[in-house]
């Protein structure tokens, strides 16, 4: 009981250090939970969206090109053994317009044409208000209640729905919400199958058949049997495969977030280790007394580990709260990147369970080494006054662990970059390499402080020399404090350089691909499925006839299948001098000729996944010619749909796929005719319910993505620096405590208070310079390694470009933070009561 009280009170006695330790654990745990929740919610949002659409269907039949097929096929498929019900639907992307008192509103959504009687075999419907559809339903639609309420639409309201054609509908009912439609950027408009076919498709044609199986039926066996009866161009698969495109898009974001959370955990462990080492150092006399009055080594170790458990548990609890809040922030950031409405965060138990168990474990692990050090405390120390210790070397075990860690992780990281080791291991290996290299700092602190001391001597003068001695006096403490700053800056600079270079690459891609002054389209492509609302062909003719037009290009985006992978095809004329794609190590003129000759350009991510290079063949599933082998002319970097993209000449796409309408019309204005052309295009857009966007409008959308990423970057950098500042403040406070008598003697001899403050601040400046300098170097190395690993890891090459402003800014801001952290300890040192301090032992 008394030992327990001793433990709790000792923790409470140093609130600053306890807060630092708690905060470190909380940040590590919180970062892990926030990232896990954000990623889980994103994935779940996509899956739930499709679950809501697919309902109880275990399989679905779609056209490989995403087009229409004969409705009668449903009756044929329903006869296949194992199939209980084959439910036909028409699913089309659309845009809903509603005349609200505040103005006309537009919403992207999915149009779902259903057989009101048969559809209940696949999906459950619960009408909250109004009535359900029936076989006689005409221009009537049902909306999900959450979407309707958000749009201000009620039962009886009239809405306009556009998907290639425009029609008016009456809302006759509101359905209870089922899962999340947010990543669909809106909701679902249900109508009768006949109505959907009449106004948005073709009579007798559908886009999907959902298959509900007999209880106990073997899904793969049924799928094989169904495939046998399907005509060419159709495919049976699980509904979840439609989320592949979405997963491809979020993969790079998830990787980045995982890196950030891994480094947050590493930083936390370092800070806890240093805090506990300081605890042991400061309480050495007290622990010696415990040994003197009869505590065994095991009891003393247990005391320290007990503190680790208590702080770890409290920190984990706080971290869970931070993680829950942080998860919402992460979710909003991801949603902003993909121009979607953030869905409510899904609080899955697994991240909390993992963090809840690992948090205290990590804290105890970090406390283990300091606890082991207490076994070397002799009760003799209680019998003798504490004498200031001379400079000691860093313990060999620390250098050994650091060296081994660097060697092993460095070799494996090299292997991951070369593909000998699973590239997914690159992130944890990078974390281990960084943490291991930080453990080597105490060993090299003494030689490193010499050039730093010389560099700073004109500013720090005599106080700097004294400060240098104090830093050397405790190489482990000083080294680990420098290590915290080192890790924080290395992560910030490494991640920052990579992200900034990625953003530059995105901007470069944009400049090469988005070539045009105006863009006419019905809606932005669905970021998950790649499907777009079709633009009538007549729009292109109308635009072509305008006098201010210099050139016009028509574009089709549509989904296709490559092996088991859903990809996105971009079909254009490619007649302009500039090729609208970011080619990877290829000549545009040569590639243009190859495109016109029937070859294709493939996104680097897709090529990396399939293990293909230029000159090889890719097999694309087509509607009209089945599986078609096409030669790869070149690879291109692409940031749409996660790089799973194929560029194709329009005539080739026309031969292979049943293209309907257009996805977009790209218009270039004649010189000096920009505004005139805009005025001429506006009524065309209005008449056809299209969006008219300029290049600047699209760039601002890109800016959302970039801003979200940059915001996260500064957030990570700031957090790391704040935590490092806590670490430095704690170290300096400990140093001041230990130097109390010495400082008092210096004051008695001749040092003014101002000089004492300079002494303490000089220690911070020396540690800060070493930590920031090493951190920047390590950060650049990390960024370089990431740029090499990115192509293999994500299939997307990221150039390595030095960012001088980032480096300079990190150093300057870092130094300001370090010096601010020294303020309180310096003030404390300057205010020491000489008489008391002289008696201090």
Residue 13 or 469 having the CB closest to other proteins: 13
Residue 386 or 801 having the CB closest to other proteins: 386
Nearest to 429 by CA among 446, 445, 415, 449: 415
Q: Where are the alpha helices (DSSP H) in 739-752?
A: 740-749
Give the residues across from 631 on adjacent strands. Answer: 617
Spatial separation of the C-alpha atoms in residues 351 and 327, rounded to whole Å: 11
Spatial separation of the C-alpha atoms in residues 496 and 231, rounded to whole Å: 51
Pair of tokens at residue 512: 């090469």
Q: Is the distance from CB of 656 to CB of 624 less than 8 angstroms?
A: yes
Residue 1 or 750 having the CB closest to other proteins: 1
DSSP letter for 598, please.
T
Nearest-approach distance from CB 281 to other proteins, in angstroms: 17
Residue 450 or 836 having the CB closest to other proteins: 836
Nearest-approach distance from CB 7 to other proteins, in angstroms: 10
Residue 295 or 725 having the CB closest to other proteins: 295
Report residue 141: phi and psi, to 5°.
-140, 155
DSSP letter for 662, please.
B
Nearest to 145 by CA among 130, 133, 128: 128
Residue 40 or 295 having the CB closest to other proteins: 295
Interface residues toward other proteins, by CB under 8 A: 1-3, 5-6, 9-10, 13, 285-286, 289-299, 378-380, 382-385
Nearest-approach distance from CB 382 to other proteins, in angstroms: 6
Residue 287 or 528 having the CB closest to other proteins: 287
Spatial separation of the C-alpha atoms in residues 811 and 776, rounded to whole Å: 8
Residue 283 or 758 having the CB closest to other proteins: 283
Nearest-approach distance from CB 284 to other proteins, in angstroms: 13
Nearest-approach distance from CB 13 to other proteins, in angstroms: 6
Residue 21 or 468 having the CB closest to other proteins: 21
Residue 378 or 700 having the CB closest to other proteins: 378
Give the residues across from 143 on adjacent strands. Answer: 174, 189
Spatial separation of the C-alpha atoms in residues 688 and 662, rounded to whole Å: 13
Spatial separation of the C-alpha atoms in residues 278 and 688, rounded to whole Å: 71
Nearest-approach distance from CB 789 to other proteins, in angstroms: 50
Nearest-approach distance from CB 729 to other proteins, in angstroms: 23
Residue 297 or 596 having the CB closest to other proteins: 297
Nearest-approach distance from CB 370 to other proteins, in angstroms: 19
Query: Which are the contacts of 828, defined by CB distance < 8 A and separation ≥ 6?
Result: 733, 736
Nearest-approach distance from CB 389 to other proteins, in angstroms: 17
Residue recorded with tokens 């996104």: 603
Nearest-approach distance from CB 377 to other proteins, in angstroms: 11
Angle at which helix 475-513 crosses helix 441-473, to 10 degrees, equals: 130
Nearest-approach distance from CB 476 to other proteins, in angstroms: 24
For the residues of 90-113, what is the DSSP string, one character each?
A: EEEEEEEEEEETTEEEEEEEEEEE
Q: Is the dihedral of CA 431, 432, 437, 441 positive or negative?
A: positive
Residue recorded with tokens 């480094």: 263
Nearest-approach distance from CB 375 to other proteins, in angstroms: 9
Nearest-approach distance from CB 34 to other proteins, in angstroms: 36
Nearest-approach distance from CB 23 to other proteins, in angstroms: 22
Q: What is the largest CA-CA distance in the chain?
A: 102
Residue 19 or 707 having the CB closest to other proteins: 19
Query: Which are the contacts of 520, defined by CB distance < 8 A and separation ≥ 6?
Result: 535, 539, 543, 664, 665, 667, 681, 684, 685, 690, 691, 692, 693
Residue 294 or 671 having the CB closest to other proteins: 294
Q: Is the distance from CB of 510 to CB of 699 less than 8 angstroms?
A: yes
Q: Is the distance from CB of 619 to CB of 568 less than 8 angstroms?
A: no
Pair of tokens at residue 658: 């049943």
Element (H, E) at 641: none
Residue 13 or 461 having the CB closest to other proteins: 13
Residue 218 or 389 having the CB closest to other proteins: 389
Q: Is the distance from CB of 516 to CB of 694 less than 8 angstroms?
A: no
For the residues of 680-697, what is the DSSP string, one character each?
A: HHHHHHHHTT-EEEEHHH
Nearest-approach distance from CB 1 to other proteins, in angstroms: 4
Nearest-approach distance from CB 294 to other proteins, in angstroms: 3
Residue 506 or 737 having the CB closest to other proteins: 737
Question: Buried b / exposed e across 85-109, counting CB within 10 Å, b at 16+?
Answer: bbbbbbbbbbbbbbeeeeeeebbbb
Spatial separation of the C-alpha atoms in residues 249 and 572, rounded to whole Å: 23
Nearest-approach distance from CB 502 to other proteins, in angstroms: 52
Q: How many CB atoms lie within 10 A of CB 702?
A: 17
For the residues of 287-347, what is the DSSP string, one character each?
A: HHHHHHTT--HHHHHHHHHHHHHHHHHHHHHHHHHHHHHHHHHHHHHHHHHTT-PPPPP--
Residues in the chain, overall count: 841
DSSP letter for 535, please.
B
Residue 378 or 687 having the CB closest to other proteins: 378
Q: How many CB atoms lie within 10 A of CB 496?
A: 23
Nearest-approach distance from CB 748 to other proteins, in angstroms: 22
Q: What is the DSSP pairing of strand 208-213 with strand 83-100?
A: antiparallel
Residue 292 or 791 having the CB closest to other proteins: 292
Query: Which are the contacts of 335, defined by CB distance < 8 A and separation ≥ 6?
Result: 182, 183, 341, 342, 343
Name the 3-class secondary structure at 124. Answer: coil
């Amino acid at each position: 009981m008394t030992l327990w009280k001793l433990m709790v009170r000792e923790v409470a006695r140093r609130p600053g250090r306890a807060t630092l330790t708690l905060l470190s654990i909380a940040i590590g745990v919180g970062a892990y939970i926030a990232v896990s929740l954000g990623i889980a919610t994103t994935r779940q949002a996509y899956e739930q969206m499709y679950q809501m659409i697919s309902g109880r269907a275990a399989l679905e039949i779609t056209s490989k090109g995403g087009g229409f097929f004969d409705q009668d096929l449903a009756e044929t498929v329903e006869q296949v053994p194992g199939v209980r019900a084959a439910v036909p639907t028409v699913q089309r992307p659309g845009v809903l317009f509603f005349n609200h008192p505040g103005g006309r509103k537009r919403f992207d959504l999915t149009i779902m044409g259903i057989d009101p009687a048969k559809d209940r075999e696949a999906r459950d419907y619960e009408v909250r208000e109004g009535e359900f559809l029936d076989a006689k339903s005409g221009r009537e639609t049902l909306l999900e209640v959450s979407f309707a309420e958000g749009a201000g639409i009620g039962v009886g309201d009239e809405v306009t729905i556009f998907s290639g054609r425009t029609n008016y509908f009456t809302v006759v009912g509101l359905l209870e919400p089922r899962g999340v439609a947010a990543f669909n950027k809106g909701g679902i408009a249900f109508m009768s199958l006949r109505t959907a076919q009449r106004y948005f498709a073709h009579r007798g044609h559908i886009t999907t058949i959902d298959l509900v199986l007999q209880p106990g039926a073997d899904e793969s066996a049924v799928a094989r049997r169904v495939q046998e009866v399907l005509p060419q161009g159709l495919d049976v698969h699980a509904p979840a495969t439609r989320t592949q495109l979405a997963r491809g898009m979020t993969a790079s974001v998830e990787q980045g977030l995982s890196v950030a959370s891994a480094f947050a955990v590493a930083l936390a462990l370092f800070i806890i280790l240093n805090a506990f080492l300081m605890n042991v150092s400061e309480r050495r006399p007290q622990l010696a007394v415990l040994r003197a009055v009869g505590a065994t080594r095991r009891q003393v170790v247990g005391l320290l580990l007990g503190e680790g458990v208590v702080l770890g548990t409290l920190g984990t609890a706080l971290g869970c709260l931070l993680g829950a809040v942080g998860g919402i922030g992460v979710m909003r950031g991801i949603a902003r990147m993909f121009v979607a409405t953030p869905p409510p965060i899904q609080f899955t138990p697994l991240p909390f369970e993992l963090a809840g168990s690992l948090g205290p474990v990590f804290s105890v692990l970090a406390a283990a080494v300091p606890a082991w050090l207490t076994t070397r405390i002799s009760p003799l120390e209680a019998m003798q006054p504490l004498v200031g210790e001379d400079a000691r070397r860093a313990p060999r075990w620390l250098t050994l662990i650091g060296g081994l860690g660097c060697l092993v992780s460095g070799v494996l990281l090299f292997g991951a970059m070369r593909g000998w080791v699973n590239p997914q291991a690159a992130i944890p290996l990078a974390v281990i390499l960084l943490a291991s290299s930080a453990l080597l700092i105490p060993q090299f602190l003494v030689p490193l402080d010499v050039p730093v001391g010389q560099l700073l001597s004109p500013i720090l003068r005599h106080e700097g020399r004294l400060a240098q001695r104090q830093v050397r006096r405790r190489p482990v403490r000083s080294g680990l404090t420098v290590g915290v700053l080192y890790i924080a800056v290395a992560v910030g600079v490494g991640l920052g350089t990579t992200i900034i270079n990625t953003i530059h690459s995105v901007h470069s891609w944009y400049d090469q691909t988005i070539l045009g002054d105006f863009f006419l389209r019905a809606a932005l492509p669905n970021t998950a499925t790649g499907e777009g609302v079709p633009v009538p062909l007549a729009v292109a003719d109308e635009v072509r006839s305008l006098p201010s037009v210099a050139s016009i290009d028509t574009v089709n985006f549509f989904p296709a299948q490559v092996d088991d992978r859903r990809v996105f095809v971009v079909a254009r004329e490619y007649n302009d001098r500039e090729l609208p794609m970011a080619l990877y190590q290829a000549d545009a003129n040569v590639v243009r000729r190859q495109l016109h000759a029937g070859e294709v350009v493939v996104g680097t991510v897709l090529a990396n996944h399939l293990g293909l290079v230029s000159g090889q063949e890719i097999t694309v599933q087509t509607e009209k010619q089945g599986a078609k082998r096409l030669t790869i002319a070149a690879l291109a970097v692409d940031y749409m749909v996660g790089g799973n993209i194929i560029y194709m000449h329009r005539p080739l796409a026309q031969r292979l796929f049943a293209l309907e309408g257009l996805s977009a019309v790209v218009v270039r204005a004649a010189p000096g005719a920009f505004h005139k052309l805009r005025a001429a295009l506006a009524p065309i857009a209005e008449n056809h319910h299209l969006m008219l966007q300029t290049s600047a409008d699209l760039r601002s959308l890109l800016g959302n993505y970039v801003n979200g990423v940059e915001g996260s970057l500064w957030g990570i950098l700031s957090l790391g620096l704040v935590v490092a500042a806590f670490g430095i403040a704690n170290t300096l406070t400990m140093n001041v405590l230990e130097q109390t008598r010495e400082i008092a003697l210096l004051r008695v001899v001749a040092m003014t208070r101002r000089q004492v403050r300079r002494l303490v601040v000089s220690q911070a400046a020396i540690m800060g310079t070493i930590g920031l300098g090493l951190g920047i170097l390590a950060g650049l190395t990390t960024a370089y390694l990431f740029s090499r690993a990115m192509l293999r890891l994500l299939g997307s090459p990221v150039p390595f470009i030095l960012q001088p402003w980032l480096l300079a800014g990190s150093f300057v801001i870092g130094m300001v933070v370090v010096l601010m952290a020294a303020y309180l300890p310096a003030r404390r040192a300057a205010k020491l009561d000489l008489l008391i301090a002289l008696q201090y032992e």
